């Protein structure tokens, strides 16, 4: 069965520092991979997605993620954190062969210190 593991339920960085949120997945076939962001009392908003094109994917708000098949990882990065990046981040994998249902990770709460 597919699964998604997000390492660290809470990550804290200083404003201007590198943001690195980790995501590892298990899938028997090449998957679609997604990162979503959720601000307080809001729904989930798509940040970026990997769908078997370029392995380095750029998203909104300066975020990017790299698909590494050998490591089964899809870590999310941003070179310089901004206060407005404080939110909950979810990694998700979609098994193309099983109707495309998304399997979500547990979420990582990102705090940004001034």
Partner 1 sequence: ETGVTQTPRHLVMGMTNKKSLKCEQHLGHNAMYWYKQSAKKPLELMFVYSLEERVENNSVPSRFSPECPNSSHLFLHLHTLQPEDSALYLCASSLVPPTGGGYTFGSGTRLTVV
Q: Cα(103)–Cα(4) distance, rounded to whole angstroms? A: 7
Residues that bind partner 1 (CB under 8 A): 32, 34, 36, 41-46, 49, 51, 90, 92, 94, 96, 99-102, 104-107
Residue 59 CB, shortest distance to partner 1, in Å, is 12
Nearer to partner 1 by Cβ, of 19 and 93: the residue is 93
DSSP string, 50-80: E-SS-SEEE-GGG-EEEEEGGGTEEEEEESS
- Give the containing element (helix H, strand E) for 38: strand 32-38
Residue 32 CB, shortest distance to partner 1, in Å, is 5
Specify which residues 104 forms β-bridges with. 92
Nearer to partner 1 by Cβ, of 45 and 80: the residue is 45
Nearer to partner 1 by Cβ, of 81 and 90: the residue is 90
């Amino acid at each position: 069965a597919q699964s998604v593991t997000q390492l660290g339920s809470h990550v804290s960085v200083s404003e201007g520092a590198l943001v690195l949120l980790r995501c590892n997945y298990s899938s028997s076939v090449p998957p679609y991979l997604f990162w979503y962001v959720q601000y307080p009392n809001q729904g989930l908003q798509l940040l970026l997605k990997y769908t078997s094109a370029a392995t380095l994917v750029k998203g909104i708000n300066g975020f990017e993620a790299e698909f590494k098949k050998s490591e089964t990882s899809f870590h999310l990065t941003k070179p310089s954190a901004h206060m407005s990046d404080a939110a909950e981040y979810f990694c998700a994998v979609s098994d193309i062969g099983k109707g495309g249902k998304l399997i979500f990770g547990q979420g990582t709460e990102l705090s940004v210190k001034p």
